[in-house]
A and B are shown apart, each in its own frame.
Chain A
Amino acid sequence: MRRLKVLIGAFLGTMVSISLLGCQDRTSDESRISMVKPVNPEPIHINEKSRKEHDLAATVKKDIQSMPQIYDVAVIKGEKETLVVYKVKHLHRMMMKQIEADINKKLEKNYPKESFIVSSDFKIFIEAIELKDKMKDPGYPQDKAEKQLQKIIELKKEMT
């Protein structure tokens, strides 16, 4: 019995240390909440001074949010690429590939000059919200934000 307790204790200890090791400093609770309910994040653009970019990000968000299968959209306009992350309603999750193809088609048709990265991944959504929160700080440098955006885009390419 004592051995069993020691073993359970060791297991729980390992699990707690793994969780502590994995914990990263999160900027807000919004990213955690975003896993369970819609947060409707504002569209953001890396180049803060450009009004045109702001308008573009806002219209892209409005366009995607108008689709009935989607309930939450985050848009980040970078220097070259625009990241569009969305969450699909549970009953439509069987049609994920079709929805992604529809979004790509819609974006290509409406904004032929822009380059888009489209994803429905939760991790990318969380990271987009993290970046949005970091950018609320006026001292957060633009090049760092762009670098972070590129890191998020890299996540989309990971397959295994």
Chain B
Amino acid sequence: MGKKKELSPVQERYQELQKKHELKKPILKNCLRAFLVGGLICTVGQAITYFYIYYFNFTEQTAGNPTVATLIFISMLLTGFGVYDHIGQYGGAGSAVPVTGFGNSVISAAIEHRTEGFVLGVGGNMFKLAGTVLLFGVFSAFVVALVRTLLSIWGVL
């Protein structure tokens, strides 16, 4: 980021005018909505975890993986049906931060680039948004595993 450019008096006046007319962001309202929607998604996730624990042979430790897969699958379907867009518009970060946001980012990119063809369009752009999550997820998991291994070798853990 470079040094802020000095503004001319006209530009300054324009900025003041812009500030006057700019709509204020309802931060508190957005936070509350994100909290509610995010919490609701997590409640659904908890219910799915209990479902897997009770009806299938999963323990609390192992039920996490199928739960995540199910939530991603449901959010992908909802994105395809056009429902998740409305949830996202209402909940904001509350719908993007949970793992359902990952499914949404994959499918919305695939739908967006559908017209460019199946291979170069859908295939090439599907992970445009979700690729970042995958890359940094794998990288941070590697770093954490490395730290843990070193700590256990040194006898700290």
Is B58 an interface residue when CB atoms closer than 8 A count as contact?
yes
The residue of chain A having its C-beta at the shortest distance from the C-beta of B53 within the complex is: A123
Check A19–B55 contact: CB distance below 8 A. Answer: yes
Is B54 an interface residue when CB atoms closer than 8 A count as contact?
yes
Is B62 an interface residue when CB atoms closer than 8 A count as contact?
yes
Check A124–B55 contact: CB distance below 8 A. Answer: no
Count chain B residues whose beta carbon lies closer than 8 angstroms to a beta carbon of A: 17
Is A159 an interface residue when CB atoms closer than 8 A count as contact?
yes
User: In the complex where A158-B59, A158-B61, A158-B62 touch, is A126 in contact with B77 (Cβ < 8 A)?
Assistant: no
The 0/1 profile, CB within 8 Å of A marked 1, for residues 26-66 of chain B is: 00000000000000000000000011011111111111010
**Number of inter-chain CB pairs below 8 Å:** 44
Q: Contacts of B62 on A, CB cut-off 8 Å? A: 158-160
A156 to B58, CA, bound (A): 11
Q: Contacts of A155 on B, CB cut-off 8 Å? A: 57, 59
Binding site for A on B (CB under 8 A): 50-51, 53-63, 65, 77, 80-81
Q: Chain A contact residues: over half helix, strand or loop, or mixed?
A: helix
Binding site for B on A (CB under 8 A): 4, 7-8, 11, 19, 22-24, 31-32, 35, 121-124, 126, 155-156, 158-160
Q: Contacts of A160 on B, CB cut-off 8 Å? A: 61-62, 65
Q: 30 A-B residue contacts at CB 8 Å?
A: A4-B81, A7-B77, A7-B80, A7-B81, A8-B81, A19-B55, A22-B55, A23-B55, A24-B55, A31-B54, A35-B50, A35-B53, A121-B59, A122-B50, A122-B53, A122-B59, A122-B60, A123-B53, A123-B58, A123-B63, A124-B59, A126-B53, A126-B54, A155-B59, A156-B59, A158-B59, A158-B61, A158-B62, A159-B61, A160-B65
